[in-house]
Chain A
């Protein structure tokens, strides 16, 4: 089996993988980083979104073996020194979750939106950018509020 090495949340990791292993399986099963969720497993729902080399991707639709050398950030990599990331804090403050299943993907997508679009986000833009993230609980309203607040907080 091929050996795959990557950097996950700042740490170098390496493992033998079957070429069929999806990035999300590698993260959850090899590294025990179970914050990244599998909702649909058909590339639709965004629960599995992580950042690879700075871009948001669906980790259920990428092969681990193809990502040799990649730099991956998961939801576990956001909080620093025991303190929640401003986007995580904003989801908590604004009641941006109910069951929490979609939340890791929502937050990883949200941080990616801020990285690309800046700290002042219109509601319409947030809704458009969230097209690949599905939530079964909240009705999105508080997620949009949380992202708007989190984006501002990320600006410092």
Chain B
């Protein structure tokens, strides 16, 4: 790891101010992605702005029509929240499927969304539920937020403060894990709200999370896994790697979508 200067501001406003003033600053959340990257010298920020003491970035609030989750809320807290398990069980379920217990004890929703790993779980939930990513500067709709592999609409020094998820009528998430890393080889989040069905796929797309419009159309006609019998996803634009080729990933999307639909509540 290259040397850096460490900062530990005690609220989000100060964190943004500090990061805005300093050269080459990066935020540190759970560190589960950033620290390994720094160890490998793939990242070498001159200044590390740790958000750990920003208590205003933590917590889950359930309102009548939406759930708001603070950026520094850890996966374990999302998974175990009783209120969230009532309001959007699929989201709590998803958080409990991330990595392993020690990763969930440190990793945060803000860090995961800022990182936008193409195989991460939260991006699928954010896109399918139509979440709003709130930063110190503005509100960004999920649709505009994810811009490519490890790319987001965030600007330098912009800090995610919270994420707002509209409460769906029904939602479900299922993933086919890479057995070594636990990241998704294919993960599918299905959400139904009124007559609209949105389906987001992670792990498969060569430019990151995307909406599976073919599956959305079938489920809009009737929200049942039976509607997906014979629905074939195209392999174009999907990843091929040592874990799974594009054909196989295309097949898995329909299989995971069926399971997610069966699970949806």
Tell me if A37 counts as interface (CB < 8 A to partner B): no
Collect the chain A residues with CB atoms within 8 Å of residue B31's CB: 61-63, 66
Contact A66 B3 (CB under 8 A): no
Among the listed stretches A26-34, A50-58, A140-148, which one makes contact with chain B, having 4 or more residues with CB under 8 Å of it? Answer: A50-58
What per-residue 1/0 map shows which CB atoms of B31-48 lie under 8 Å from chain A?
A: 110011001000000001
Question: Given the complex, which residues of A lie within 8 Å of B242, measured CB to CB?
Answer: none
Size class of the B contact interface (CB-based, 8 Å): 20 to 34
Q: Are B102 and A42 in contact (CB under 8 A)?
A: no
* A61 lies within 8 A of B50 (CB): no
Do A61 and B35 contact each other (CB < 8 Å), given the known contacts A44-B181, A66-B28? yes
Contact (Cβ within 8 A) A62 B50: no
Q: Would A66 and B106 count as touching, CB distance under 8 A?
A: no
Within 8 Å CB of B182, what residues of A? 131
Q: Does residue A49 face the partner (Cβ distance < 8 Å to B)?
A: yes
Cβ of A2 within 8 Å of any chain B Cβ, yes or no, is yes
Instruction: Fill in one digit per residue for B9-53: 1 if any A CB lies within 8 Å of its CB, else 0.
Output: 000000000000000000010011001100100000000101010
Does the CB pair B32–A19 fall under 8 Å? Answer: no
* A149 within 8 Å of B (CB atoms): no
List the B residue with the shortest CB-CB distance to A58: B102
Q: Is the CB of A129 within 8 A of B101?
A: yes
**Chain A residue at minimum C-beta to C-beta distance from B99:** A132
Assuming the A-B contacts A20-B4, A61-B32, are A66 and B52 also in contact, with contact meaning beta carbons closer than 8 angstroms in the complex? yes
B103 within 8 A of partner (CB) = yes
Nearest CB in chain A to that of B182: its residue = A131
Interface size on A, residues (CB 8 A): 28
Quick one: closest B residue to A55, CB to CB?
A: B105
How many Å lie between the Cα of A18 and that of B4 in the bound state? 9
Query: Which residues of chain B come closer than 8 Å to A61, judged between CB atoms?
Result: 31-32, 35-36, 106
Task: Determine whether the beta carbon of B35 is less than 8 Å from that of A65.
Answer: no
Q: A63–B35 contact, CB under 8 A? A: yes
Expressed in whole angstroms, the minimum distance between the Cβ of B237 and any Cβ of chain A is 29
Q: What residues of chain B have their CB less than 8 Å away from a CB belonging to chain A?
A: 1, 3-6, 8, 28, 31-32, 35-36, 39, 48, 50, 52, 76, 99-103, 105-106, 180-182
**With contacts A61-B31, A132-B102 known, what are 16 further pairs, Cβ within 8 A?**
A20-B4, A42-B39, A44-B181, A46-B100, A46-B102, A56-B102, A56-B105, A57-B105, A58-B103, A61-B35, A63-B6, A63-B50, A66-B6, A116-B101, A131-B182, A132-B99
